[in-house]
Structure 1
Amino acid sequence: MSDNPKTLVSTDWLAAHLKDPDLRILDASWYLPGVERDPRAEYDAAHIPGARFFDIDEISDARSDLPHMAPPAEKFMSRMRAMGVGDGHQIVVYDAAGIQSAPRVWWLFRLMGHRDVAVLDGGLPKWLAEGRPVEDMPPIVKDRHLTVRFQNHLVRDVTQVSQASKLGSTQIVDARAAGRFRGDVPEPREGLRAGHVPGSRSVPFTGLLNSNKTMKTPEETRAVFEAAGVDVSQPVITTCGSGITAAILSLALERLGNDSWSLYDGSWAEWGMFPTVPVATGDA
């Protein structure tokens, strides 16, 4: 793959830059409700040298009833200062599933106006498989200011998505598994209707990954989107269960040169419980 420190970098790239003074590595591991894994405990036991733990559920909007919604700018700034992440840093985000939740944190930094951020291709599993070093020591952290310039165009709410669905004005692409999209499979969160946003397209995020959880090439990625009826040259709203894996689609679109995407932060956790918005089932 060709490394791009604004989107996706390889384990080779990270190993070569591990000692760079302005590199900051974040472990953004996160799991669906019901998965019996504790990402913080796993981080404490073994992480890439120098990595800080980014708690997606805690660094979120505490005022919202929805899971891990994007935090207010002030909270993001204060949490990053405490983690020693700030202006002038090149950030690399990884997770312990390969590529699952790291793109969500990539998106959060982009939302806050920070562009020097990349996802580690293949994540911690690939790093470990290659016999690369890990440690259990917490990093030494020095405060660093992070300037935030909130990028409103990168996020969408239920009203905007509802309008796009009604008017057909913007493509809506769903990263959940096909069974959840069709409404054949119950949602992992209780109390949600099954199905999808009317007019949306199904591009399960797993279809954008290789068997070793690295991202497919841009050419392969384009083919996956096109097979689902998505025009990757036009605006796209990405969605999923709760705004985590939608960011994998956003990252994939960014790699294809599409800079007119946005992410539906509430995703199905919001749409599926919202009584006034319609739900479609089946393949279309």
Structure 2
Amino acid sequence: MATDDPKTLVSTDWLAAHLKDPDLRILDGTLFMPDEGRDARAEYEAAHIPGARFFDIDAISDARSELPHMVPPVEKFMSRLRAMGVGDGHQVVVYDAKGLFSAARVWWLFRLMGQDNIAVLDGGFPKWQAEGRPIEDLPPMIRDRHMTVRRQNHMVRDVTQVSAASKLGDHEILDARAAARFRGDAPEPRDGLRAGHIPGARNVPYTALLNDDKTMKDPDSLRAVFAAAGVDMAKPVITSCGSGVTAAVINLALERIGKTDHALYDGSWTEWGASQALPVATGEA
């Protein structure tokens, strides 16, 4: 079992023990891909961990961007979280309905906004349910709480910065997509995207960082995954994936092993793969 850390990852045992803490706030950060045919909000309303609020990743994003769920403006993040009753002084725990998938994106977004007291629930809602722990279908009682945001710009990268890193080779670019998509052997789920990966990137599928029960592997096992992928830990890391969601699983894993110089490419392959002006590599890294 992973060591509980309220800034990265906590177990279902930890959450159960702290469930009634007055300053605990629980978020359901479930996001389903369009082809899954599931409604995250409807599933939340039908059953969730007691007191949980629904964090809508698509809604709490930059509506001005044509790319999916890009980082929202600071003001929008603050106002949405305040309306959810989440703010300064709260310990936040975020989970999702797939085990460990989109919750990591919410964790990274909070960290980007300068909020450190947030952890992902290891194993998520499936593990919580499998253990017979309490669930409810009631909306939470909301009280406004002010949130102070100090955006940490070093934690996010745009296409220009990633292009420079690709050319210079001074960062490790880690792609969380499945190996077949990384190699260019499998088609992209979104229309109009080329197959392949950013030149110089290495493939670390987010699933390789998880156990069979969708909990995160222990730190020594995580280090072994990165070593097997040929990652030079002396370099800063930029993570990427399809649309900036599972990339955050890599960021979380890096934080778990004590590596803090990592950032996320928000546009990810949805942006890079759509641009004819950017180079694409295929095959193994």
Q: List per-residue Cα deviations over 1:103-136 (Å, max 9, x = no partner).
A: 0000000000000000000000000000000000
Which whole-Å CA distance do the structure 1 matches of 2:156 and 2:34 have between them?
24
Contact 1:33-1:188 at 8 Å conserved across structures: no
Counterpart mapping for 1:84-99 below 5 A: 84-99=85-100
User: Which residue number in structure 2 is paired with residue 177 of structure 1?
Assistant: 178
Q: Which moved more, 1:191-200 or 1:224-233?
A: 224-233
Quick one: which amino acid aligns to residue 90 of structure 2? H
Which whole-Å CA distance do the structure 2 matches of 1:233 and 1:40 have between them?
41
Which whole-Å CA distance do the structure 1 matches of 2:234 and 2:144 have between them?
40
Tell me the matched-pair count: 284
* SS state at 1:93 partner: strand
Contact 2:88-2:146 at 8 Å conserved across structures: yes
Which whole-Å CA distance do the structure 1 matches of 2:167 and 2:233 have between them?
20
User: Percent identical across equivalent pairs?
Assistant: 73
Contact 1:33-1:189 at 8 Å conserved across structures: no
Which whole-Å CA distance do the structure 1 matches of 2:48 and 2:195 have between them?
37
- Per the TM alignment, residue 232 of structure 1 is displaced from its structure 2 partner at its CA by 2.9
Which whole-Å CA distance do the structure 2 matches of 1:173 and 1:271 have between them?
14
User: Which residue number in structure 2 is paired with residue 22 of structure 1?
Assistant: 23
Asked if 1:50 corresponds to 2:28, the answer is no
Counterpart mapping for 1:61-210 below 5 A: 61-210=62-211
Which whole-Å CA distance do the structure 1 matches of 2:40 and 2:232 have between them?
36
Which whole-Å CA distance do the structure 2 matches of 1:274 and 1:133 have between them?
47
* SS state at 1:219 partner: helix
Q: List per-residue Cα deviations over 1:62-109 (Å, max 9, x = no partner).
A: 000000000000000000000000000000000000000000000000
User: Which residue number in structure 2 is paired with residue 8 of structure 1?
Assistant: 9
Which whole-Å CA distance do the structure 2 matches of 1:219 and 1:262 have between them?
22
Which whole-Å CA distance do the structure 2 matches of 1:105 and 1:169 have between them?
28
Counterpart mapping for 1:206-221 below 5 A: 206-221=207-222
- Per the TM alignment, residue 275 of structure 1 is displaced from its structure 2 partner at its CA by 1.7
TM-score of the two chains, using structure 1 as the length reference: 0.99
Q: List per-residue Cα deviations over 1:11-31 (Å, max 9, x = no partner).
A: 000000000000000000011
Which whole-Å CA distance do the structure 1 matches of 2:279 and 2:38 have between them?
34
Contact 1:234-1:258 at 8 Å conserved across structures: no
> Which 4+ residue blocks in structure 1 deviate beyond 6 angstroms?
none
Quick one: which amino acid aligns to residue 82 of structure 2? R
TM-score of the two chains, using structure 2 as the length reference: 0.99
Contact 1:99-1:214 at 8 Å conserved across structures: yes
Which whole-Å CA distance do the structure 2 matches of 1:131 and 1:63 have between them?
42
Which whole-Å CA distance do the structure 2 matches of 1:36 and 1:276 have between them?
33
Structure 1: stretches of 5+ with no match in the other structure: none
* SS state at 2:174 partner: strand
Contact 1:27-1:93 at 8 Å conserved across structures: yes
